[in-house]
Chain A
Amino acid sequence: MDIVEILFTASFWVAAIRIASPLIFATMGELICERAGVLNLGIEGIMTAGAFAGWFTVYAGGDLWTGVAVAALAGAMFGLLHATLTVPLGLSQHVVGIGVTLLATSLTYFTYRLALPEVTSPPKIEAFQPLPIPVLSEIPVVGEALFAQTPLTYLAFVTVALVFWVLYRTPLGLAVRAAGENPSAVEAQGISVNAIRIGAVMAGSALMAIGGAFLTMSAFNSFFFGMINGRGWICIALVVFGSWRPGKALLGAILFAAFDAYQVRLQQITGGVVPYQIFLMMPYALSILALILVARRATYPKALMIPYQKGER
């Protein structure tokens, strides 16, 4: 197949949207945290925990949607831990974030080993199946790519719309955006900055965990070690790339996923001439490149990473 032709095949776009889905969840999660002023580097570990929690719930006999809910709850709990340390205590968001990632990852592995001591090859579950939407899914290429996905992918797109609506069209969203820009504006209006920030980090972490759960419940259908593989860090880059706007971040995630799907196909075409590792490096290299490109004109939420103390301006 020609390297340009790939771009016009339905299977390519189906793969791209599938690859984008977990990134969309986690990017929205990180975006909410950062919009409220908290950099959440726990993302990689929280995604790991979510991937395991969702998968294990189903493996233990739970319903698929219960699995998603359990994953979200697990994420929210790690979010609470992160927020407790970084918001009222004002500890370094860098150090705490890395700590939460290490803790969530190791706790997950510990639990996995405890629950499945003897397993060598990870067991599979009955995961989410594609749910083609009548009529729409019959549109060539676009329809197949967008409307013949699993319910979790649809949920990812709904999440973007929801995050956009909440941030820009609701009284709560005003408070979240103000908390990340000038927390004293929030405090002066009688709203607790800490409550807003803790809530945002918990909600954002829940979304990250669902992003992780997508991998075990809608893509690989089983849990294995190291499966998040830097996706969390990539999402942090995507938030910057999307200038902290849900729509732009969604676009970034899809672009990124398309590139990822493309390199896999390119890898097959070039067939061993170029080492496959070069292709695997590209997502990470691309993320760094994206950061460099936008960094100069990036307008960070002004209070990002700055702890807030009541009555201090």
Chain B
Amino acid sequence: MPALQEEKPIANPQDGAAPVVLRIDGVTKRFGPLVANDAISFDLRRGDVIALLGENGAGKTTLMNILFGHYVADEGSVEAFGSSLPPGDPRAALDAGIGMVHQHFTLADNMSVLENIALGTQSFWKARFDRAGARRRIAELSGAFGLAVDPEAMVASLSVGERQRVEILKALYRDAKVLILDEPTAVLTPSETDALFHTLKLLVGQGLAIIFISHKLNEVMAVSDRVLVLRSGKLAGERVTAETTRHQLAELMVGQEVTPPPVPPVVTGPSLLVMEKVSTARRANATPLDNITLSLHSGEITGLAGVSGNGQAALAGLLSGTETPLSGSFTVQGNQVGKNWSPAEALAGGIARIPEDRHAVGTIGDMSVTENVIAERYRTERFSRAGFLDWAAARKFAEEIIADYDVKCPSPEARIRLLSGGNMQKLILGRALDPEPVIILANQPTRGLDVGAVGYVHGKLLEARARGAAILLISEDLEEILALADRVVVISKGHLSTPSARGQRSVRELGELMAGHGEEGRAA
């Protein structure tokens, strides 16, 4: 459409006058029986900010991976600036001016910012890497878009916010005209998020088009011109942001009225797990805990809110038995935790653990469902005698869990790797909750699950609460914590805030705490 190609610096995307920079036409992608993307079509215009909204597992990331050439679509095509993109070729996508900021950063820690940005931009046949030229260009770009970062710094030493700036610079360095951001705020504090939004405005002002992938409604409302809602791989609807409401979008996203689970009041019982002034050792890539105090009570869900990477891993490790306290006092049901604290000890102490990463930590992918469900209890009398395993009992147990927890799987002998995320999580839930534990650690229990599975997991946690379990719910999703937790604690840089009862602090106040502001000197 040559007629539309004329320069229009400040075009109103809604009037259809700005040129189309990207056209997705009937893209379908299947993984085995699962249809991850079902005939998705849309246009992106110059200066346009489209939000791609959807639940986890709705197909957003798959679509972007097709766009960027990581996956090849089974049907459909992608057109950039009027010419079609060859499928499965990230290089072609980059050359066409598509830049992507992945959810998990794609940076090499052993190299400097400059090296990461310029990687792959100079010919491999060159005998010398042009460092000075790269430095000049990075300085220009970071000046123009307010993306301050030291080009000589090693990436390993950068904060999360800085890393994201490097990712954006990487795209700009390659003259990206279309910028795709996949869940860019998941790892940012509220103030870093504000800075990101400011940068995005500058970029749009320069004529870039942006696809902003998120499942957070308030961000989508704040940043986009148009919203595309994905649901179970299909395009469920398209709305102009200014003409829609959060409520409408939420309905489109989940396909029904969203009602938070009813949380009946429960009488809070005694403390079952108490940490006083606990610190943990410093480790690579993880914030240690610094002098924290926390107690979990029977019949109460304690929600731990915070931006990822602020010490959640260390706290979860303490409860799981994979981390030992460096100092302070840590008691489980009145027993002091000692030097030989281990996962086996944690289990013996009545702690059930739902780990954050169900693929790498929660399950052994190449072992069967049966072998996985007995992993925490194979040495008990129920499953073994004199060192010999009772496979009949194990299989019976697996069948019980499959039935009780509504797991869809071909047979107890199937490799657990073949199960969907939701079914895998139900099995882990079954394994953890079957012995009726008194303490439960639920670390990101619903991440990546579809709406049905999320509701199921929440229901099970509330059931456990009703029978008097003390639950620690760690989540990066503030909405999940607000819906379930009787008490909210915020973690930031290894410190814990004082707890607040349900509804006591506003979302804004919690956000401030997550960013590490406020409560100076009061932190317990």
* A–B contact, 8 Å CB criterion (strictly below): yes
CB distance from A163 to the nearest CB of B (A): 14
Query: Which of B111-119, B196-204, B291-299, B494-502 has 4 or more CB atoms under 8 Å from chain A?
Result: B111-119
Cβ of A162 to closest chain B Cβ, rounded Å: 11
Q: Does A188 sit at the interface, judged by CB under 8 A?
A: yes
Q: How far is the CB of A41 from chain B (nearest CB, A)?
A: 23
Closest-by-CB residue of A relative to B92 is A190
| Least CB distance, A161 to chain B, in whole angstroms | 13
Contact of B106 among A171, A184, A301, A310 (CB under 8 A): A184
User: For residue B116, which residues in chain A have a CB less than 8 angstroms away from its CB?
Assistant: 178, 185
Does B124 lie within 8 Å of A189, measured CB to CB? no
With an 8 A cutoff between CB atoms, is B100 at the interface? yes
CA distance A170 to B94 in the complex (A): 21
- List chain B residues, Cβ under 8 A from A190: 90-95, 120
Q: CB within 8 A of B111: which of A169, A177, A187, A188?
A: A177
The answer, yes or no, to whether B107 is at the interface (CB within 8 Å) is yes
* Residues on A with beta carbons closer than 8 Å to the beta carbon of B106: 182, 184-185, 187-189, 313
Give Cα A182 to B94, complex, Å.
19
CB distance from B320 to the nearest CB of A (A): 24
Q: Are B110 and A188 in contact (CB under 8 A)?
A: no
Please encode chain A, from 280 to 313, with 1 for each CB lying within 8 Å of some chain B CB and 0 for all others: 0000000000000000000001100000001101
List, in ascending order, chain B residues with CB within 8 A of A187's CB. Answer: 70, 90, 106
Query: In the complex the two chains form, what is the Cα distance from A185 to B167 in whole Å?
Result: 10
A5-26: CB near B (< 8 Å → 1, else 0) gives 0000000000000000000000
Interface of A is mostly: helix
Partner pick for B128 among A170, A184, A301, CB 8 A cutoff: A170
A178-B119 in contact (CB<8A): yes
Given contacts A187-B106, A302-B109, A311-B65, contact A170 B70 (CB under 8 A): no
Chain A residues near B122 (CB-CB < 8 A): 171
Among A171, A181, A311, the residue within 8 A (CB) of B108 is: A181
Most buried by B among A169, A170, A171, A187: A171
Report how far A103 CA is from B91 CA in the complex, Å. Answer: 37
A188 in complex: contacting residue of B92, B100, B121, CB < 8 Å: B100
A191 to chain B: closest residue by CB:
B120
Q: Which residue of B lies closest to A172 (CB)?
A: B124
Nearest-neighbor residue (CB-CB) of B122 within chain A: A171
The answer to whether B102 has its CB under 8 Å from any CB of chain A is yes
Using A174-B129, A310-B70 as known contacts, say yes or no to A186 and B111 having CB atoms under 8 A apart.
Answer: no
* Distance, CA A99 to CA B214, complexed state (A): 47
Those of A116-157 within 8 Å (CB) of chain B: none
Query: Are B120 and A175 in contact, with the CB atoms below 8 A?
Result: yes
Q: Chain A interface residue count: which class?
A: 20 to 34
Contact indicator A177/B129 (Cβ below 8 Å): no
Q: Size range of the interface on B?
A: 20 to 34
Complex CA–CA separation, A296 to B127 (angstroms): 36
Would you call A311 and B71 a contact (CB within 8 A)? yes
Across the interface, name the chain B residue whose C-beta is closest to A176: B124
Central interface residue in A184, A189, A302, by most chain B CB within 10 Å: A189
Is A313 a contact partner of B102 (Cβ separation < 8 A)?
Answer: yes
Whether B248 is near chain A, meaning CB under 8 Å from some CB there, is: no
Interface hits, B112-169 → A, CB 8 Å? 115-116, 118-124, 126-129
Chain A contacts for B90, CB-based, 8 A: 187-190
Other-chain contact of B124, A169, A175, A188 (Cβ < 8 Å): A175
CA A313 to CA B105, docked complex, whole Å: 9
Q: Does B170 contact A (CB under 8 A)?
A: yes
Is residue B522 within 8 Å, beta carbon to beta carbon, of the partner chain?
no
- Closest Cβ of chain A: how far from B414's Cβ, in Å? 22
- Contacts A188-B90, A311-B71 known; A169 to B129 CB distance under 8 Å? yes
Q: Is the CB of B121 within 8 A of A189?
A: yes
B contact residues around A185 at 8 Å (CB): 106-108, 116, 119
Q: How far is the CA of A182 from the CA of B127 in the complex (A)?
A: 24
When distances are taken between beta carbons in the complex, the residues of chain A under 8 Å from B71 are 311
Alpha-carbon distance A44/B139, docked complex (angstroms): 48
CB pair B70 A174 closer than 8 Å: no
Docked-complex contact B109 and A181, CB < 8 angstroms: yes
User: Is A177 a contact of B94 with CB atoms below 8 Å?
Assistant: no
A contact residues around B121 at 8 Å (CB): 171, 189
Return the chain B residue nearest A166 by Cβ.
Answer: B127
A196 vs B100: C-alpha distance when bound (angstroms):
22
Bitwise interface map of B from 476 to 502 toward A, beta carbon under 8 Å scored 1, else 0: 000000000000000000000000000
Structural contact, B111 and A178, CB atoms closer than 8 A: yes
Do A186 and B120 touch (CB < 8 A)?
Answer: yes
B124 touches A181 (CB 8 A): no
- A301 CA to B115 CA in the complex, in Å? 17
Q: Are A174 and B65 in contact (CB under 8 A)?
A: no
Q: A177-B110, A187-B70, A187-B106 are in contact. Are A169 and B91 (CB under 8 A)?
A: no
Given contact pairs A171-B121, A187-B106, A188-B170, enumerate 17 new A-B contacts (beta carbons under 8 Å): A169-B129, A171-B123, A171-B126, A174-B115, A174-B119, A177-B110, A181-B110, A182-B108, A185-B116, A186-B119, A188-B102, A188-B106, A189-B106, A189-B120, A190-B91, A311-B70, A311-B71
Chain A to chain B contacts (Cβ below 8 Å), 28 pairs: A169-B128, A169-B129, A170-B128, A170-B129, A171-B118, A171-B119, A171-B121, A174-B115, A174-B119, A174-B120, A175-B119, A175-B124, A177-B108, A177-B111, A178-B111, A181-B111, A182-B109, A185-B107, A189-B106, A189-B119, A189-B120, A189-B121, A189-B170, A190-B91, A302-B109, A311-B65, A311-B71, A313-B102
- The 6 residue pairs across chains A and B that have the minimum distance between CB atoms: A311-B70, A189-B120, A190-B91, A188-B106, A171-B122, A178-B108
